[in-house]
Chains A and B, each alone.
Chain A
Amino acid sequence: MRKSYIFLVLVILAVISGWYFGSLAKSQNTFGNGGGISVDLVVKHYRNGTLISEQYKRGDPFTKNFVLHMYGLLDGWGSSVTMQDETNNARSIGYGSLFSGTAYVGIGTGTNAFDINNYNLISPIAWVQSSATSTSSIRTNGNISFSASFSLSSAATITEVGVKVSEGGYNFLILRDLITPINANAGDTITVQYIIRLNG
Chain B
Amino acid sequence: MRKLPVILLSVFLISFLASSTLPLREERGIMEVFVNLKVYDEKGALIKEITMRDPLTQAMGGFVSRLFSAASATDESGTSRSLGTGVSGPLYICVGTGSPVSPTYSDYMLVNLLQCVRASQATMAIVGNRGNISLSASFSFSQQYTITEVGLRKYLSYNYLLAHDALSPSITVPAGGKLTVTYIIRINSGV
Contact = CB atoms under 8 A, between A and B. Distances in A.
A76 B118 contact: yes
Contacts of A139: 104-105
Interface stretch (A92-100, A151-159, A179-187): A92-100
B85 A96 contact: yes
Contacts of B60: 198
A115 B29 CA distance: 12
The listed residue with most A CB atoms (<10 A of its CB), out of B7, B34, B87, B188, is B87
The listed residue with most B CB atoms (<10 A of its CB), out of A15, A17, A23, A32, is A32
Contacts of A102: 69
Dominant secondary structure at the B interface: mixed
Dominant secondary structure at the A interface: mixed
B113 interface: no
The listed residue with most B CB atoms (<10 A of its CB), out of A59, A95, A96, is A59
B84 to A, nearest CB: 9
B183 to A, nearest CB: 8
Interface stretch (B119-127, B138-146, B174-182): B119-127
B8 A14 contact: yes
Contacts of A7: 4
B115 to A, nearest CB: 16
Contact of B68 (A37, A116, A133, A140): A133
Contact of A137 (B32, B61, B64, B188): B61
Contact of B30 (A37, A66, A174): A37
Interface string A69-100: 11111111111000000000000001111111
B85 A100 contact: yes
A71 B133 contact: yes
Contacts of B53: 30-36
14 contacts: A18-B13, A31-B51, A32-B165, A33-B103, A36-B33, A36-B56, A61-B29, A61-B188, A71-B122, A74-B154, A76-B135, A99-B83, A196-B64, A198-B56
Interface of B: 1, 4, 7-9, 11-21, 24-34, 51-56, 58, 60-61, 63-71, 83, 85-92, 103-106, 118-119, 121-122, 124, 126, 128-131, 133, 135, 152, 154-155, 163, 165-166, 183, 185, 187-188, 190-191
Closest 10 CB pairs of A and B: A18-B15, A22-B19, A59-B28, A76-B91, A67-B131, A32-B52, A61-B29, A95-B88, A22-B20, A76-B90
Given A59-B27, A140-B103, 10 more contacts: A19-B19, A31-B51, A33-B53, A34-B55, A36-B53, A74-B185, A116-B130, A133-B65, A165-B68, A177-B29
